[in-house]
A and B are shown apart, each in its own frame.
Chain A
Amino acid sequence: MDAAAAMDHHDQHESTGIDHRKLGMWVFLSSEFLFFGALITNYLLYQGQAGFARPYPAEIYDIPFTSFSSFALLMSSLTMVLAHNALARHDQHATRTWLLATAMLGSVFLGGQVFEFTEFITVGAMKLTTNPAASAFYMLTGFHGFHVLLGILMLLTLYGISRRQGELSEASGLNLELVGLYWHFVDIIWIVIFTVVYLLASVPAGVG
């Protein structure tokens, strides 16, 4: 009867035992996989087609540079976990530090992408309007970068809340765990993009 009475009073029970927001984030991320799936497929369709105006994206990649910024993004997943762990230990100071570190590493990645795009456009002479493969490349990596940007904004908001309120609570406001889920997702997608789009890149026979 206790449980029923409590429910009458207030309906915040979960049939699955998973917090609404966490379940919601998982459901949302499952949709995001299709979003990036469509973008990656789109790129793969165009990258190998012969007869486009040059250059193809694969001709001008700077793999060492992108490896560096990818490394920064991968490390940010580690700092995200450390932030989550620190919050679980109620170490608010360390939580803030790791949140900030995660946002910083994300910014390094994003800065790298801005630099990369600039180089590609000015030095490599590959613009959005050069050929369909270039269009697909900028759209895919651009949307990924936009996701990173949103993640950084959420991390900084968490940092701001923590500074202002002196602590982060698990129950209210933007939840660190949810931002973490999102951040790891964006990271995983980048692992796929870096592997498939950069490392396994190919140009059609006769080009380059």
Chain B
Amino acid sequence: MTATAERRPATTIFRRPRSTTGFWAWITTADHKKIGIMYGYAAFIFFLVGGLEALLLRIQLSAADNTFLTAAEYNAAFTMHGTTMVFLFVMPISAAFINYLLPLMIGARDVAFPRMNALSWWIFLFAGIFLYSVLVFSDPAAPVGVEGVAGNLDPADNTVLGGMPDGGWFGYQPNAGPFYSPGTAMDYWALGVQFLGLASLISSVNFIVTIFNMRALGMRLLRMPVFVWMSLVVALLLLFSLPIIAIALFMVTFDRQFGSLFFVAEAGGDPILWQHLFWLFGHPEVYILILPAMGIVSEVLPVFSKKPLFGYAAVVFAGAAIAFLGFGVWAHHMFASGISPVAQAAFGLSTMTIAVPTGVKIFNWMGTMWGGRIKFTTPMLFAIGFVAMFVIGGLSGVTHAVVPSDWQQTDTYYIVAHFHYVLFGGSVFGIFSGLYYWFPKMTGRLLNEKLGKLNFWTMFTGFNLTFAPMHWLGLQGMVRRTAYYPPEAGFDFWNLVATVGAFIIAAGVLIFMFNWWRSKKHGEPSGIDPWDARTVEWTTPNPTPEYNFGVAPTVTGLDDFWHKKYAEDSEGRPVRRPEAEETLTDLMETGIDPPHPIHLPAPSYYPILLAAGIPLVGWGIIYHTSFVGKLLILVGVLVVASASFGWSMEPLEEPHDEHDDSDPLGGGYSSVEVDD
């Protein structure tokens, strides 16, 4: 195209970054793998923070009338535990998997918009830092923006921990509004979650376009690995649920900072509206948390059962059905909030309906293992643990669909037990399965299996010790979100057991961290195909080269890689093809030494710059009544605007004129500039 050749020197703010290694390479990268790795490490650090908060909660609850935490500190700790685990751990670590694996699994070199991908990551990181900056900046005694609302003058709240957001991860109104949560903490929460949502929204657009548009030749939609399908479903859920929570959080921020009256009951505002808006997002959100793990498990189980996934299409469509139905069940979180009997019946029924596609998946996973030659590796153990624990959590979930039964369970520890079985026994076990399974993809080495098994059994034991007793505590009437229980209630024993269990989980996490740290340097080299895998991401060397594939793959069917290695005998059993080793050697060679030059998206300063402006605006809004606040808003907007301008002027790739016309392999592609 002539435009490339004739372009004048572009208007820029910065020169293009040149580093390919070291600090600046990570800061400016647009490589989906580097971004995925950064997402993963950051999410894990937040996992540790959220875990520490959980341990504080468990210490407080280990004995009746314990005084380890004040009530204010306890509220803050459970609020930030929930917020951190949902928004700063499970969502971003899912984003880490999707970032790293999605392009590899569909045979692409990167995502559709590499710089926007970097932007999502930096917004996520800065939003997480913004949210936790509340520890440094929060002043419980400071008035919010609304006239006539004084700060919280109770000195008991004036501790570092007690100054964190304390309105729950669900931020129920009017409790989290200006009158009942004075001070700035809930403003940090509302804006922090808002910014995290922005990061996820950008990612979801990116992933959807990537999946629809960047599949390798022959990779039809129903040949994509289930993990890719679940990524697509999650991206669609995010796309349609995030705008709703965005509006709801804006309403909170407006109420708190600018005196609007959305949730102020005295002026006619409707606090129940918040519950509807929150759960209209919040219920799809729980599927956003679980579906990536379901995708991971659907990849791991077939590999270690040496069988194709049982009912591939059923698993895919069940995932889509869960997402679709997931938008129609939100009010089951509100059975005790005073909604009409018709609504209760309707949402009770829709909630039971959603158990059907979930059951389909469970049976398909069991069908996959049935009659397989199962190898109990660590990823497989975590995957089986996922299926077993998810069944328990799923069944206790169905009991909430029965409205009278739910009235008994609402706000008791039975609910806490239920959602930890689906989110810890489910999501977290799935995530650990994925970490063990794809570790070689990232490092070229295997995690230690002995430590891995120790890791699994420690976490599995600790998990059940912690959360199984909560079922009985809940049914005995122990309420959630309360820092104390009286000695005569008889809750002591099982609470102590749960606390011991929580520390066993912590030990399991420490074993995992030791394993990771040790195996990164000293782990057994993995080779190209350590698990005898089925999907395209294993057809390129480990660790993955920067360009992903030496030669862009062509796909002829589901589990394409498997069929390149195995044929079937007359009874349908897999028989390794004689040429399998040669296939692997060829893949290794072309992967290490690509036959043709490959162009990759160039690094850029603009994503991190643009993202850096956003928390500035956030702090500015919280302190907008002061001069500093107004200045911060102005600076933040200027940073965002100038970064956007520089971004739109910067081509995605450096022009590579040296071979544009001379290289016959270039075709028409080399001069196409795709910008995002």
* Contact surface of A with B, Cβ cutoff 8 Å: 2-16, 18-21, 23-24, 27-28, 30-32, 34-35, 37-39, 42, 45-46, 49, 51-53, 128-132, 135-136, 138-139, 143, 157, 161, 164-165, 169, 171-175
Contacts and interface: CB of A to CB of B under 8 A. Distances in A.
Contacts of B109: 11
B242 interface: yes
A24 B599 contact: no
List 7 A-B pairs, minimum CB-CB distance, nearest first. A6-B667, A135-B260, A35-B243, A10-B669, A38-B247, A169-B3, A34-B243
B261 A131 contact: yes
Contact of A139 (B254, B277, B595, B663): B254
A157 B11 CA distance: 12
Nearest to A140: B247
Interface residues of B, number: 72
B665 A12 contact: no
Interface in B644-676: 645, 648-649, 651, 663, 665-670, 672-676
B262 A38 contact: no
Interface string B228-264: 0000000000011111101110110010001111101
- Determine chain B's interface SS by DSSP, over half rule: loop
B370 interface: no
Contacts of B201: 31
Contacts of A34: 240-241, 243-244
B259 A128 contact: yes
B209 A27 contact: yes
A113 B220 CA distance: 48
A31 B242 contact: yes
Given A15-B219, A20-B113, A173-B648, 11 more contacts: A11-B552, A12-B669, A12-B672, A12-B674, A13-B669, A23-B208, A30-B239, A34-B241, A38-B243, A49-B268, A135-B254
B213 A38 contact: no
A9 B260 contact: no
A20 B597 contact: no
Contacts of A164: 8, 11
B669 A20 contact: no
B313 interface: no
B243 A9 contact: no
B294 interface: no
A105 to B, nearest CB: 23
15 contacts: A4-B554, A6-B666, A7-B552, A10-B669, A20-B209, A24-B205, A24-B676, A27-B208, A31-B205, A35-B247, A38-B243, A39-B247, A46-B268, A139-B250, A171-B3
Report which residue of B113, B268, B277 has the largest number of chain A beta carbons within 10 angstroms of its beta carbon. B268
A21 B668 contact: no
A39 B249 CA distance: 12
Contact of B273 (A35, A42, A131, A175): A42
B596 interface: yes
Interface in B307-332: none
A128 B254 contact: yes
B222 interface: no
B150 interface: no
B596 A8 contact: yes
Interface in B3-24: 3-4, 7-8, 11
A11 B214 contact: yes
Contacts of A23: 112, 208-209, 212-213
A9 B648 contact: no
A27 B112 contact: no
Contacts of A12: 669, 672, 674
Contacts of A136: 262
B251 A24 contact: no
A161 B651 CA distance: 14
A7 B110 CA distance: 13
